[in-house]
């Protein structure tokens, strides 16, 4: 009978077990991670677009937005009412689900303004 070197045998078995473990880890791929895109719809409860009522429909120009308040340093228009307005010609148009809001109903002086 052949004499078995136990320390060498255990060393070889440890290496084999380690290689099998590495091969198993490298061949298994994790499940794909779901990532949102810019086209994904994100809903935040209680957050409304500007210039809409409680159902999300755009309100008429001059109507107070029930979800937003504004502040102003202009004593003639101190706020806090946020009023829906017809979009200035330099602005993106209002939609059925959002309207511009301002501290006053007129968009006079709003072109290129802050």
Is the C-alpha dihedral spanning 105, 110, 111, 114 positive or negative? negative
The pTM of this model reads 0.56
Alpha-carbon distances, residue 58 vs 16, 38, 98, 101, 103 (angstroms): 69, 24, 5, 11, 17
Contacts of 48 (CB under 8 A, 6+ apart): 56, 67
pLDDT in tens, the chain (114 residues): 555 555 555 566 555 555 555 555 555 667 777 766 666 667 788 889 999 999 999 999 999 999 999 888 878 777 899 999 998 888 889 999 999 998 888 777 655 544
């Amino acid at each position: 009978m052949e004499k078995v070197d136990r320390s060498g045998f255990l060393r070889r078995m440890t290496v084999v077990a380690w290689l099998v473990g590495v091969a198993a880890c490298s061949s298994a791929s994790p499940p794909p991670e779901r990532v949102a895109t810019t086209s994904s719809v994100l809903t935040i409860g209680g957050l409304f677009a500007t210039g809409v009522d409680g159902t999300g429909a755009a309100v008429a120009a001059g109507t107070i937005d029930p979800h937003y308040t504004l502040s102003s340093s202009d004593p003639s228009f101190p706020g806090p009412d946020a009023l829906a307005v017809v979009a200035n010609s330099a602005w993106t148009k209002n939609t059925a689900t959002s309207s511009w809001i301002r501290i006053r109903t007129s968009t006079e002086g709003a072109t290129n303004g802050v």
